[in-house]
Amino acid sequence: MNFSVTTMGTASAMPVSDRNPSAQMLNANGRLFLIDCGEGTQQQIRRCHFSFVRIEAVFISHIHGDHLFGLFGLLNTMGMYGRKSPLDIYGPKALVGIIHFYTFYFGAGDPFEIRVHPLTCKSPEVVHESSYVKVSAFPLNHKIECFGYRFDENVSEHRLAIDPGRRPKSYAYCSDTKPFPELPGWVKGVDCLYHEATFLDSMADKADFRYHSTTVQAAECALKAGAGRLIVGHYSTRITDFEAYLEECRRVFPETFAASDGDVFEL
């Protein structure tokens, strides 16, 4: 049984040579779920040896380019690979018009259906469920409409009979956001929490102005939530000392990992 997340993009909006913008792949027992789709995501999918046709659903946090600009290329490549199964895409309401633009100009001949699910939730709400995973969406506190996602593994009675000690795994993804009181409760008890930490603690004023979080704020969220592990990313291009990210987080929450592109975290 496999429940893991691969961080395929850990940079923020400004391009850098050694990191891609936001994108992650959750592998829930062979079912693939793409979380955000920054520029270059399809190349990262190939480098990480994932299948384009086995992605079950895509979850977009918000309509900023570093979380979205790779989507058109990805959809086009899925068509060229002959994908047949429908693709569910979840995200803010504005995503409907963006996908309509793609299908009108580029996707008319694609052999698969794109099903867009605009989110309107004001608190955690289940938006996708299969026999393998249940996905809840919840609003974040960013400059524009933005959503986080929580993935809870569904473990069948058959699988429990085979492995009676198995406990369902859980993962939460919190992209661009300022801290807000409800968030730790919404991701409470997850085995692993990804929380953006764009800025170091000394740059808290910049984080506040840009509706982002610092290292300490991400670690405090993980601590309050009782998370098992914390992954941080979405690094500012102003900072190249990634050990500093790790050191600041671990003062508050020792089980912190500063992600690099291509890292795999087994849950």
**pLDDT tens track, the chain, 267 positions:** 689 999 999 999 998 988 999 999 999 989 999 999 999 999 999 999 999 999 999 999 999 999 999 999 999 999 999 999 999 999 999 999 999 999 999 998 899 999 999 999 999 999 999 988 999 999 999 999 999 999 999 887 656 667 777 789 999 999 999 999 999 999 999 999 999 999 999 999 999 999 999 999 999 999 999 999 999 999 999 888 889 999 999 999 999 999 999 999 999
Check: pTM over 0.85? Answer yes or no.
yes
Q: What range does the domain containing 105 cover? A: 3-266
Q: Are 245 and 235 in contact (CB under 8 A)?
A: yes
Reading the block at residue 141, the tokens are 């506190």
What is the count of structural domains for the chain? 1
Please give the pLDDT value at position 157: 66
Q: Are 240 and 217 in contact (CB under 8 A)?
A: no
The catalytic site residues sit at: 66
Q: What is the domain-level CATH number for residue 223?
A: 3.60.15.10
Burial class (CB in 10 A: 0-12, 13-18, 19+), 65: exposed
Reading the block at residue 231, the tokens are 């992954």
* Alpha-carbon span 1 to 163, nearest angstrom: 10
